[in-house]
Amino acid sequence: ASQQSRRNKIPEIVNVIELKELDEYLGTYNLVAYEEISKAGKHMALKQSLDKLESGDKITVIVGSEGGFDQDEIVMMESLGITACSLGKRILRSETAPLYLLSVIGYVRENGK
């Protein structure tokens, strides 16, 4: 599929890990999809990170299981330097959110800001 779509880099998808193991996967920009952020009016973190994106930068995006993350998990990730971000007004399924994010990131990287 990567060859067919002419991808130079293949996104890395890792197995389920414990939150305490996240630090070894952090990149230049680190985001966690959290639906409660948009309710709080803080919905621009994804756009702001993508606007700063430069060639060679790495993005780590964390998507929770069905039901999402609880507040304690978000606080723990924020203490690791991970920014909570909204994916828009709709709550996406856990299997749909990563595809949505890869599409948005791919669009920004390939077509500019």
Tens digit of pLDDT for each residue in 29-80? 999 999 888 776 667 888 888 889 888 888 898 998 888 899 999 999 999 9
Q: What's the CA gap between 32 and 64, in Å, rounded?
A: 8
Is CATH 3.90.470.20 the right assignment for the domain spanning 19-111?
no
Confirm whether pTM is higher than 0.85. Answer: no
- How many angstroms separate the CA atoms of 38 and 83, rounded? 13
